[in-house]
Structures are given as structure tokens and as C-alpha cells.
Amino acid sequence: MALVVAAWAMPSGAAWADEATVAAGAAIAAHGTVVGRAACSSCHGQDGAGQPDVGIPRLAGLSTYYIHEQLGYFASGARRNYVMSSYAAALTPAERREVADYYASLPVPRNPDPLPVAAAALDHGRTLFLNGAPDKGLLSCSQCHGTDGLGVGSFSPRLAGQSAAYIVDQLQRWHGGADRDPKGQYMRAIAGRLDTPDMRAVADYAASLPRDGGKP
């Protein structure tokens, strides 16, 4: 727990990246570190846009602390994912930091063209995102991710413009009690109070939010 506290206590927003680590991270993202294995960019793109429709998350726009922390959890097995675990474990701690610095340094790509979502569902998602559902004991997403879904420092990731399919997948994993990371205890408690239509609605709403907090 002490380690976790130390990691959480890192100053948010302060840059720890420099040009050298970003350049090294760009090389890892483009070419990987093991000959014959796919690199980060094969799935997440060199621009960090991900593949929203199939649930591969956008990395550009996430904080370097968050990406670095999650890579560590994938590597240790604290966060289980059959694809990411082996990739993260193949990177040294320094390489994980470099690749995190790289993706965090990128401009946030435009939101993908949204799949059609019924207005009523989007409205439901907006209500859950901003107000929660006090009758279900459900906190609002905005309480921890910000009213514009931009995330909070090292604590919570940006959701604005993130892949809806990815958000639904994560919510379903938490709902099922999946291991993620020590902070996953919060999301397990939240997701346990969401049914599948709620998850879809809230994910669609988050995906529809402007990537930079501005007007859509």
C-alpha cells in the first residue's frame, strides 16, 4: 500500500517528460522492442488515436502518470488483459515511462464520427454522467472525471472522446469484479450499480464529449 500511496501522491499536471524520453517513446511506439512482435502503434496508432469502434482505447490525451501506472499494472498482473499484459511485461520500467511520455505528449485526435445513438439514450447517459442516480447509490461520473470528462491529474483518466466500446468493456469488467488496479475499487463499486443499458448510455455520452472540453 505504501508504494501505491507514493504513486498517487505524484504531483498532477507537472511534466516529468523531456524531449529525450518522448523521442525514445516514439521509437518504441513505432517499432516495439522485440523484433517480430507488433508495436504499440499497430493497435493504438502512432498518433495514439486507437481504434474506437473495436474498443482499442485512445492514448493521446491521457496523462503520462496514468499511462505509466497502467502499464505497470499490466506488467505486474494487477490489471489483467491477455493482450496488454505480455506487451507491458516485455518493456523495462524505463521503457514504460518513455512510451507513456510519448503518448501523453501528443495532441488529442479529433473524436471519431460517432455511431448513431438514440437521443433518449444519450440524454440518459448525460444524466448519469452529471448527476449519477442517488436512488441507486450511484455517484456521477463527473465527480471524479470532471464535468467535461477531462480527467483529474494522476487520479482519473480523460473520458471525453474516448472509445465508447472501450468504456463499456471496462465497465463490464468492473461490474464482474475484475481485477484492475488498486484504484479499481472505486470503479468496481460504481460499475456494480450500472446495468448494461446504463453502461452503454454513459459510455456513448462520454464518447460524445469534446476532446478538449470546448464546444462540440
HSE toward the beta carbon, residue 203, CA cutoff 13 A: 23
Pair 97, 21: CB distance under 8 Å: yes
Which range in 1-9, 52-60, 98-106, 200-208 contacts other proteins by CB under 8 A? 1-9
Residue from 3, 9, 14, 119 binding other proteins (CB under 8 A): 9
In eight-state DSSP terms, residue 135 is: G
Taking CB under 8 A as the criterion, which residues in 114-173 touch other proteins?
127, 131-132, 134-137, 139-140, 142-148, 150-156
Question: How many residues lie near other proteins (CB under 8 A)?
Answer: 38
Q: Which string of x and - marks every residue 172-201 that binds other proteins (by CB under 8 A)?
A: -----------x-xx-xxx-x---------
What contacts 129, CB < 8 A, 6 or more positions away?
A: 140, 141, 142, 149, 202, 205, 206
Is 1 annotated for ligand binding?
A: no
The set of cell numbers assigned to 134 is: 442517488
Amino acid in the structure at residue 116: P
175 marked ligand binding residue:
no
Angle between helices 119-131 and 196-208 (to 10 degrees): 90
143, 132 Cβ separation under 8 angstroms: yes
Q: Which is nearer to other proteins, 24 or 130 (CB)?
A: 130
The CA distance from 202 to 136, in Å, is: 15
Contacting other proteins within 24-43 (CB under 8 A)? none
Least Å distance, CB 156 to other proteins, is 8
As a residue count, the chain comes to: 216
The one-letter amino acid code at 125 reads G
Say how many C-beta atoms besides its own lie within 10 A of residue 147's C-beta.
13
Choices 8-16, 27-35, 86-94, 104-112 (CB under 8 A): range interacting with other proteins? 8-16
58 binds other proteins (CB under 8 A): no
Binding residue per annotation — 187? Answer: yes
What minimum distance in Å lies between the beta carbon of 174 and other proteins?
11
Contacts with other proteins by CB under 8 A lie at: 1, 5, 8-9, 12-13, 127, 131-132, 134-137, 139-140, 142-148, 150-156, 183, 185-186, 188-190, 192, 212-213
